[in-house]
């Protein structure tokens, strides 16, 4: 893979500021709804994973519960992504939040056995690829230049920060009201997000009209995007290293139990999220656009290398430090944000971002499930270390893409 065909983006002389980003009212609405989405999803994933592990005692089933929110992206991305450009963004996002409200209520009611719960989460998660694509593709319509890159950083920080709060609060909620009560709280956040979007977000038009959207168009556009060398290289660079690192997250609950502190699972998950938050905060705001490009490769390596320390079965506090450093490395993707935006055709922007998100979530779900499967026959600490080694190798294979672009 080469970057010779890539469009070289213009680089701002200085990074944008958070004040400039949050001065845009429509961005504040989108950010608020996304934060509610993340809080609810984080609590749901933790509660469902705890319920399944308590019911089965199986690391594999626990990992599948954790991955159940990821894997639907594979089918949704293959079947439905064309609708991200064919339907108005607000309609897509509000509809999906209403669906999430209903699913969370059914899970909270506790009327389904474990296999049926996982199947429900999987099937109803299929539209998630379209909703995420619509949200992400709307961002460059609201923010321009380096404000767009910093806006992406803010979204990543929200993913880290709300997960820190979500996992911490989720553990306390489960202790206080039980996992079903935590799932009812998830339903409330979904409903609040839907109301915020419907009442405050402007009704942006669809990107493509004419013809019919569906499976055929989704496959056709996905193939066309993947045939572009620039797009393909950027997709692989953003997919592989983080996905393999997530294989470690699939066994964090069993790892906490192995080291004798089962209640530390929330701390370990929160450590990854805290690292993500810190990385995007520091790299997004304090590092220049050119500096981000120079740091992309080392930061991508930082995703996996710290996890090698799990081979020594560190105590939860030390394990949390390693996971925090690993999460910090996610900030490498900021260097690729504008490159990817410039590499895709505007009428296909929604589907391009959907393809990026689909690959990310699908590979992360598969990696988490694979980590859980390996945890059936190997110690969780060894599984985490192997996931880190695989992530580091993936970063090295994408090194040319991660290197700074040559400028005329």
The answer to whether the CB of 77 falls within 8 A of the CB of 355 is yes
Q: What is the separation of C-alpha 117 from the centre of its chain, rounded to a whole number of angstroms? A: 22
The answer to whether the CB of 27 falls within 8 A of the CB of 147 is no
The CA distance from 189 to 154, in Å, is 20
Other residues' Cβ atoms within 10 Å of the Cβ of residue 271: 25
Q: Answer yes or no: is pLDDT of 97 > 60.
A: yes
| 199 burial type by CB count under 10 A (0-12 exposed, 13-18 middle, 19+ buried) | exposed
pLDDT at 317: 92
SS (H, E, C) 48-95: HHHHHHHHHCCHHHHHHHHHCCCCHHHHHHHHCCCHHHHCCHHHHHHH
Overall average pLDDT of the 45-55 stretch: 78
DSSP structure string for 245-280: HHHHHTTHHHHHHHTT-GGGHHHHHHHHHHHHHHHH
The model's pTM is 0.79
**Chain segment 243-292, per-residue pLDDT in tens:** 999 888 878 888 888 888 887 887 888 898 889 889 988 998 889 888 99
Tokens of 30: 């989108």
* CA distances for 284 relative to 160, 164, 388, angstroms: 14, 19, 24
Which domains are seen in the chain, by residue range? 24-202 (1.20.1250.20), 224-407 (1.20.1250.20)
Overall average pLDDT of the 330-342 stretch: 93
* CA distances for 328 relative to 28, 44, 283, 298, angstroms: 24, 24, 9, 11
The Cβ-side half-sphere exposure at 66, using a 13 Å CA radius, reads 31
Overall average pLDDT of the 21-50 stretch: 89
The CA distance from 365 to 239, in Å, is 12
**Chain segment 302-335, per-residue pLDDT in tens:** 999 999 999 999 999 999 999 999 999 999 999 9
């Amino acid at each position: 893979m080469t970057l010779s065909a890539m469009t070289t983006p213009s680089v701002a002389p200085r990074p944008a500021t958070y004040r400039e980003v949050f001065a845009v009212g429509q961005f504040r609405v989108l950010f608020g709804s996304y934060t509610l989405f993340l809080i609810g999803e984080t609590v749901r994933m933790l509660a469902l994973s705890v319920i399944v592990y308590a019911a089965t005692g199986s690391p594999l089933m626990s990992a599948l519960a954790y991955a159940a929110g990821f894997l639907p992206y594979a089918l949704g991305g293959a079947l439905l992504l064309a609708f991200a450009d064919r339907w108005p963004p607000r309609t897509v996002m509000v509809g999906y939040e209403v669906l999430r409200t209903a699913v969370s209520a059914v899970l909270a009611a506790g009327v389904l056995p474990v296999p049926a719960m996982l199947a429900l989460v999987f099937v109803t998660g299929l539209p998630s690829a379209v909703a995420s694509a619509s949200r992400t593709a709307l961002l460059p319509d609201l923010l321009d230049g380096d404000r767009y890159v910093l806006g992406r950083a803010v979204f990543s920080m929200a993913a880290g920060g709300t997960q820190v709060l979500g996992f911490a609060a989720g553990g306390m909620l489960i202790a206080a009201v039980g996992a079903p009560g935590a799932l009812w709280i998830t339903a409330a956040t979904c409903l609040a997000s839907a109301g915020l979007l419907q009442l405050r977000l402007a009704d942006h038009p669809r990107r493509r009209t004419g013809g019919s959207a569906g499976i055929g168009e989704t496959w056709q556009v996905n193939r066309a995007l993947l045939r572009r060398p620039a797009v393909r290289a950027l997709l692989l660079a953003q997919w592989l290293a983080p996905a393999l690192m997530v294989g470690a997250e699939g066994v964090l609950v069993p790892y906490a139990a192995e080291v004798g502190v089962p209640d530390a699972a929330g701390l370990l998950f929160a450590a990854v999220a805290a690292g993500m938050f810190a990385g995007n905060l520091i790299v997004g705001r304090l590092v220049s656009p050119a500096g981000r490009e120079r740091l992309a490769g080392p930061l991508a390596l930082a995703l996996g290398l710290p996890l090698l320390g799990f081979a020594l079965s560190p105590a939860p506090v030390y394990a949390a430090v390693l996971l925090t450093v690993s999460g910090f490395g996610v900030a490498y993707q900021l260097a690729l944000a504008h490159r990817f935006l410039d590499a895709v055709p505007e009428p296909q922007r929604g589907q391009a971002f959907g393809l990026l998100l689909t690959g990310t979530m699908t590979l992360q779900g598969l990696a988490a499930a694979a980590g859980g499967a390996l945890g059936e026959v190997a110690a969780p600490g060894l599984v985490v270390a192997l996931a880190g080694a695989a992530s580091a190798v993936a970063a090295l294979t994408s090194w040319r893409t991660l290197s700074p672009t040559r400028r005329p």
